Amino acid sequence: MIKRFQEDKEKVEKEDDSLGQEQIVFLGADSEPKLRIIGIMREVGEDTAADVIYGLHSLAATAKKMDLKEPENEDDEPEIVETIEPIELIINTPGGSADDMFAIYDTMREIQREVPVHTKGIGKVMSAGVPLLAAGTKGQRRIGENCRVMLHSVIGGHVGPMHQLDNEMEEIRNIQTQYINILARETNMTERYLRNLMKKKVNVYLSAQEAVDLGIADEII
């Protein structure tokens, strides 16, 4: 293995001597990427949901690693130890579609049956982004000191016949209930507390410390 690594290194150096030493990519077994990070750095929509869901499943499929643990006694056989590498989800979003947020959230819950998903909020975590930050593995939900957190009631609109408006309003209320139920499940806030909070203000802004106090995150980075 060492011989192969050295041969690959020499091959790369010979093929392009113009590259700076820090730019040379060494091939071989040790070149496998170590980053297991997914980022939400835009509005939560169909494209974002597709990218995140695909990324979660892809990283979950490679989360389990088998390593040999050397025995304490020379006469004993090496022990095979299974380790699971977590996934990190970094969130910086102004919010977006409730339906696409639900799709990501349900996928996170499915993945976490076997693989931890660590969440980190930076910049801004608003609206649809808040449940996703809170849905990370408990004890592994971090937030930037200067991150702005905002939650609010579901926003919707529709133009049409009166009976259709009633139907659309009922659906908006159902989405609002789902949103509140998720936050109540993942944080320290109760459903009653959340409903009263959202009635008082259109947009409820929280500091990083308030987000930790309310159970949206576990620690400030």
| Residue 218, Ramachandran bin (φ over 0: left; ψ between -120 and 50: alpha; else beta) | alpha
Beta-bridged to residue 203, according to DSSP, are 152
Domains of the chain, each with CATH number or no CATH: 36-64+78-220 (3.90.226.10)
Reported as a pLDDT band with limits 50, 70 and 90, residue 184 is very high
Residues in the chain: 221
DSSP output for 85-140: --EEEEEEE--B-HHHHHHHHHHHHHHTTTS-EEEEEEEEEETTHHHHHHTSPTT-
76-112 pLDDT, tens digit per residue, is 777 888 889 999 999 999 999 999 999 999 999 999 9
161-178 pLDDT, tens digit per residue, is 656 666 777 888 899 999
16-55 pLDDT, tens digit per residue, is 444 333 333 333 334 444 679 999 999 999 999 999 999 9
CA distance 39 to 123: 12
User: For residue 21, how far is the Cα from the chain centroid?
Assistant: 34
CA distance 99 to 46: 9
Hey, which residues are catalytic here? 127, 152
Residue 71 has pLDDT above 80, yes or no: no
What is this structure's pTM?
0.78
Angle in degrees, CA 129, 104, 154, rounded to 5: 45
Query: How much is the pLDDT for 140?
Result: 98
Q: What six digits make up the tokens of 28?
A: 């071989």
Residue whose C-alpha is closest to residue 221's, from 137, 120, 144: 144
CA distance 13 to 26: 9
